[in-house]
């Protein structure tokens, strides 16, 4: 519809229009003179003398109904386009697949050949400038013909290009291929001049081979025009052109894929028929760049490639996958968004076979377009078919808005990601391209192969209660220098940073954590050194390890750490404690990085260590600490360790938990209060208050953060209503309720 608006404005008409959303295209058209209304309304009709509508518009649409009520003349999109084309030498590109690329290629070649054509193409074409253009000087008009609603029969062109004919749009063609053949046949019958057809497509060959004034193209040397592919690269394809089996010359086509070689042959045949020399055609094809969303490379680096393609029919999918595989990626990871319930239902078996050859497939929910759901048909329909047809790894990623999370978490260096579909799955590719760029630049900045950097790391893997959404950027530095560089990098690009330990006192919401999450838990952060009665430990060292090292060296005072599931960094931040001891009781000094990545060291006395909170370590990040113990007999250390272990086993649950949920209020321990309120064993979903200790909420296997948070609020509401006590959480709650990245 935007293309029609461009053409009509170019013809000098006063044009208005309406749509349900604004876009860059509507904004461009407004600058060109369009009177635009959003959303659809009866007022949008205004004083129009003619109303043109697309097949997506049905009775019930406010603007449509207003036009009917006013008795205005109304045309379908194809009828209007055919009327505009009638004043030119029309060239209609038709077929089930490849129309947009071929019509754009034809317009580009004819323009380069000096014919100054008008054009109408169904996508954004950077090389053409706009998707539609009216030329008052040129006599040719290249248009993409749409067969989806049968309106292809409105055209009476001088030239018709028939690319292929397959079962498609079966919601409209209830008689299947018979009805599709009939519509294409009517276009061919209405063509006044030459029919150019792909003889390598069986259906197109049957419809066209016996027609006079026809030109064939395909892979066979028996065709009028044929080709031999020489090389397929990521952004181009080399091939040799033969005319009636005799080599004419070689072409470098500016888009990849053997299917595009066939499209180019159709254009070469047309251009030759119109008298454009081969050298001019070859040069134009070299400079051709495809339409948006046609093997559109969104991101490329030494480690990753992200490609987006509009392909949504099994044949298109196979062709696009073949192009991607011809580039020899280490792994090809596909993300597919099925388009329309009817297409998914009727072509489910073909979809299952179309993905053979990919290493992993992620399938989203169906993009419905204007259709109502069909019971039993969903994205999982395609996933199931693919699993049964040789694709080893198939995953469901229902929500397109978050599909990039599981895909990004799955990726490893060397992967190519291919997003496929006619809906909005390109947003998945765009998100991956954005965040992979940040990740690649981070790795270059760190220059440290020992440091792990990943996208969308599931935080349930890094919390002891095993819940939590993803971290947008996950970094595990192996050295203080890499930690500092990461802080400086994220600060320079305005990305917020959160530092975590082993997640033993942490509850992360289901929407995850936007920005960077840094976990200094490997390399030098795991080191524990002893000198006399003093222990120096990196923040990644577990308290249990510190306790064991102290025991081995005959240093006492660390026995209370044995049963705490966290590490030194989390213990410092929270001033963790047990058995009457707190972390900062033994701290001598702390080394830390500030937000700028600068290293400092301060004595324990310089930190305001409170009950379960050390505010100075919120925006400053500890890297190591020195603790004071005392030389003690092995028997004494063993006895205290056994006491600590026995007490913890008797009073704390074994199931996954985040430790104590609430701080103890004045006058009564939190666990005792929960028990007195009768809330032991209370549950929401798979989250349950432990029967062992009332201040623990355990994950029984499938809990989400939302379940835990809902249970926390139930306890707080009961404590407030029945005892007038405001319970304060000890567990740190971070992250977003809904994903925002």
- Residue 27 annotated as catalytic: no
Kindly report the CATH number assigned to the domain that includes residue 698: 3.90.78.10
Lowest-confidence segment of 84-93, 439-448, 556-565 by average pLDDT: 556-565
- The pLDDT confidence band at residue 182, using thresholds 50, 70 and 90, is very high
- Residue 192 annotated as catalytic: no
Position 168 pLDDT exceeds 90: no
Tens of pLDDT, residues 558-616: 998 987 878 999 999 989 888 788 999 999 999 999 999 999 999 999 999 988 889 99
**Cβ proximity of 395 and 376 under 8 Å:** no
**Cβ proximity of 463 and 698 under 8 Å:** no
Q: In degrees, to the nearest 5, what angle opens at C-alpha 353 toward C-alphas 351 and 359?
A: 105
Question: Is there a single domain that holds both residue 339 and residue 263?
Answer: no
Question: Is there a single domain that holds both residue 264 and residue 140?
Answer: yes
Catalytic: which of 144, 168, 316, 476?
A: 144
pTM of the model: 0.80
Catalytic: which of 88, 99, 466, 640?
A: 99
- 13 in a domain, yes or no? yes
Distance CA 385, CA 553 (A): 61
How big is the chain by its Cα radius of gyration, in Å? 33
Catalytic: which of 26, 88, 96, 100?
A: 100
**Cβ proximity of 704 and 507 under 8 Å:** no
- 474 in a domain, yes or no? no
Position 369 pLDDT exceeds 90: no
**Domain boundary pick from 47, 72, 97:** 72
Q: What is the DSSP letter of 367?
A: B
- The pLDDT confidence band at residue 520, using thresholds 50, 70 and 90, is very high
- 268 in a domain, yes or no? yes
Question: Is there a single domain that holds both residue 116 and residue 55?
Answer: no
- 7 in a domain, yes or no? yes
Kindly report the CATH number assigned to the domain that includes residue 377: 3.90.190.20
For residue 476, CA distances in Å to 293, 491, 540, 564 come to 35, 17, 10, 22
Position 651 pLDDT exceeds 90: no
Average pLDDT estimate for 363-387: 95
Tens of pLDDT, residues 617-634: 999 999 999 999 999 999
Please count the structural domains in the chain: 5
Kindly report the CATH number assigned to the domain that includes residue 557: 3.30.465.10
Give residue 245's region: left, alpha or beta (phi > 0; psi -120 to 50). left
Question: Is there a single domain that holds both residue 156 and residue 220?
Answer: yes
Question: Is there a single domain that holds both residue 621 and residue 707?
Answer: no
Question: Is there a single domain that holds both residue 144 and residue 255?
Answer: yes
**Would you state the pLDDT for residue 156?**
94
Instruction: Give 276-292 as a 3 state SS string.
Output: CCHHHHHHHHHHCCCCC
Average pLDDT estimate for 717-730: 96
**Domain boundary pick from 416, 435, 454:** 435
- The pLDDT confidence band at residue 342, using thresholds 50, 70 and 90, is very high
> What residues have CB less than 8 Å from 80, skipping those under 6 apart?
4, 52
Question: Is there a single domain that holds both residue 92 and residue 200?
Answer: yes
Question: Is there a single domain that holds both residue 635 and residue 663?
Answer: no
Kindly report the CATH number assigned to the domain that includes residue 279: 3.40.1190.10
**Would you state the pLDDT for residue 492?**
96
For residue 655, CA distances in Å to 646, 692, 733 come to 17, 10, 20
Residue 15 three-state SS: coil
Position 314 pLDDT exceeds 80: yes
- 344 in a domain, yes or no? yes
Position 130 pLDDT exceeds 70: yes
* Strand spans (E) along 550-607: 555-556, 577-578, 581-582, 587-593, 599-603
- 502 in a domain, yes or no? no
For residue 292, CA distances in Å to 132, 244, 353, 426, 638 come to 14, 34, 26, 10, 70
How buried is 628 (Cβ within 10 angstroms: 0-12 exposed, 13-18 middle, 19+ buried)? Answer: middle
Question: Is there a single domain that holds both residue 182 and residue 211?
Answer: yes
- 182 in a domain, yes or no? yes
**Domain boundary pick from 378, 409, 435:** 435
Question: Is there a single domain that holds both residue 629 and residue 672?
Answer: no
Distance CA 599, CA 208 (A): 76
**Cβ proximity of 473 and 439 under 8 Å:** yes
Question: Is there a single domain that holds both residue 234 and residue 301?
Answer: no
- 64 in a domain, yes or no? yes
- Residue 144 annotated as catalytic: yes
Residue 217, strand partner residues: 198, 225
DSSP string, 595-663: TTS-EEEEEGGGS--BTTB-GGGSSSEEEEEEEE-EE--HHHHHHHHHHHHHHHHHHS-SSEE-S--BP
Question: Is there a single domain that holds both residue 621 and residue 672?
Answer: no
Tokens of 75: 């045309």
- The pLDDT confidence band at residue 433, using thresholds 50, 70 and 90, is very high
Tokens of 484: 């500092």
**Cβ proximity of 377 and 351 under 8 Å:** no
Q: In degrees, to the nearest 5, what angle opens at C-alpha 376 toward C-alphas 374 and 378?
A: 80
- The pLDDT confidence band at residue 124, using thresholds 50, 70 and 90, is confident
Q: What is the DSSP letter of 152?
A: G
Tokens of 703: 């809990």
> What residues have CB less than 8 Å from 491, skipping those under 6 apart?
497, 595, 596, 597
- The pLDDT confidence band at residue 655, using thresholds 50, 70 and 90, is confident
Distance CA 44, CA 17 (A): 7
Tokens of 368: 């419905």
Position 455 pLDDT exceeds 70: yes
DSSP string, 37-49: ESS--GGGGTT-S
* Strand spans (E) along 305-420: 305-309, 331-336, 360-363, 393-396, 415-420
- Whole domain around residue 668: which residue ranges? 655-734
Distance CA 577, CA 575 (A): 7
**Cβ proximity of 641 and 563 under 8 Å:** no
Higher pLDDT, 294 or 496: 496
**Would you state the pLDDT for residue 650?**
67
């Amino acid at each position: 519809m935007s293309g029609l608006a461009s053409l009509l404005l170019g013809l000098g008409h006063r044009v208005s229009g309406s749509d349900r959303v604004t876009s860059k295209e509507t904004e461009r058209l407004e600058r060109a003179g369009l009177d635009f209304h959003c959303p659809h309304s009866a007022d949008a009709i205004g004083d129009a003398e003619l109303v043109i509508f697309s097949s997506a518009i049905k009775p019930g649409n406010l603007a449509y109904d207003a036009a009917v009520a006013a008795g205005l003349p109304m045309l379908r999109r194809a009828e209007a386009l055919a009327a505009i084309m009638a004043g030119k030498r029309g060239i209609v590109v038709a077929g089930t697949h490849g129309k947009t690329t071929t019509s754009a290629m034809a317009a580009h070649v004819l323009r380069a050949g000096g014919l100054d054509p008008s054009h109408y193409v169904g996508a954004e074409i950077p090389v053409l400038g706009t998707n539609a253009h009216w030329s008052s000087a040129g006599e040719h008009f290249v248009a993409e013909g749409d067969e989806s609603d049968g309106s292809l029969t409105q055209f009476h062109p001088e030239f018709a290009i028939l690319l292929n004919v397959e079962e498609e749009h079966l919601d409209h063609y209830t008689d299947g291929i018979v009805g599709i053949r009939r519509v294409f046949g009517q276009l061919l019958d209405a063509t006044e001049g030459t029919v150019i057809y792909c003889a390598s497509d069986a259906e197109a060959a049957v419809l066209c081979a016996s027609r006079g004034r026809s030109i064939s193209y395909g892979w066979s040397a028996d065709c009028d025009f044929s080709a031999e592919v020489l090389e397929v690269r990521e952004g181009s394809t080399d091939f040799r052109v033969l005319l009636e089996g005799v080599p004419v010359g070689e072409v470098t086509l500016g888009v990849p894929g053997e299917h595009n070689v066939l499209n180019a042959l159709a254009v070469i045949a047309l251009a030759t028929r119109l008298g454009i020399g081969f050298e001019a055609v070859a040069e134009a094809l070299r400079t051709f760049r495809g339409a948006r969303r046609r093997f559109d490379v969104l991101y490329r680096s030494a480690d990753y490639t992200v490609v987006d393609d509009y392909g949504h029919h099994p044949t298109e999918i196979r062709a696009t996958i073949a192009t991607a595989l011809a580039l020899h990626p280490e792994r090809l990871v596909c993300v597919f968004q099925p388009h329309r319930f009817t297409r998914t239902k009727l072509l489910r078996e073909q979809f299952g076979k179309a993905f053979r050859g990919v290493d992993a497939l992620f399938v989203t929910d169906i993009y419905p377009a204007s259709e109502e759901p069909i019971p039993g048909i969903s994205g999982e329909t395609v996933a199931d078919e693919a699993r049964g047809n040789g694709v080893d790894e198939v995953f469901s990623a229902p929500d397109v808005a978050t599909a990039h999370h599981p895909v990004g978490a799955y990726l490893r260096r060397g992967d190519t990601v291919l997003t496929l579909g006619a809906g909005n799955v390109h947003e998945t590719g765009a998100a991956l391209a954005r965040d992979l760029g940040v990740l690649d630049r981070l790795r270059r900045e760190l220059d440290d192969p020992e440091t792990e950097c990943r996208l969308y790391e599931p935080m349930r893997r890094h919390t002891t209660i095993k819940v939590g959404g993803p971290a947008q950027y996950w970094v595990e530095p192996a050295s203080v220098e890499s930690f500092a560089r990461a802080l400086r990098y994220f600060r320079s690009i305005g990305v917020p940073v959160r530092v975590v330990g082993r997640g033993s006192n942490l509850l992360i919401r289901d929407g995850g954590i936007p920005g960077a999450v840094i976990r200094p838990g490997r390399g030098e952060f795991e080191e524990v050194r002893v000198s006399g009665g003093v222990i120096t430990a990196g923040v990644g060292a577990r308290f249990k390890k510190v306790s064991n090292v102290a025991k081995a060296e005959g240093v006492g005072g660390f026995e209370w750490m044995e049963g705490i599931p966290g590490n030194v960094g989390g213990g410092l931040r929270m001033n963790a404690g047990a058995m009457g001891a707190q972390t900062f009781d033994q701290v001598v000094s702390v080394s830390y990085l500030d937000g700028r990545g600068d290293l400092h060291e301060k004595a324990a006395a310089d930190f305001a260590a409170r009950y379960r909170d050390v505010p100075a370590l919120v925006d400053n990040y500890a890297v190591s600490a020195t603790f004071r113990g005392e030389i003690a007999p092995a028997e004494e250390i063993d006895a205290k360790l056994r006491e600590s272990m026995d007490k913890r086993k008797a009073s704390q649950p074994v199931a996954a938990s985040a430790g104590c949920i609430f701080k103890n209020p004045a006058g009564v321990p939190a666990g005792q209060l929960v028990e007195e309120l009768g809330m032991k064993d209370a549950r929401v979903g798979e989250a349950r208050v432990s029967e062992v200790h009332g201040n623990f909420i355990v994950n029984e296997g499938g809990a989400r953060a939302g379940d835990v948070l809902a249970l926390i609020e139930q306890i707080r509401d009961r404590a407030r209503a029945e005892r007038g006590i405001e319970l304060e959480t000890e567990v740190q709650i971070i992250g977003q309720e809904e994903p925002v990245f």
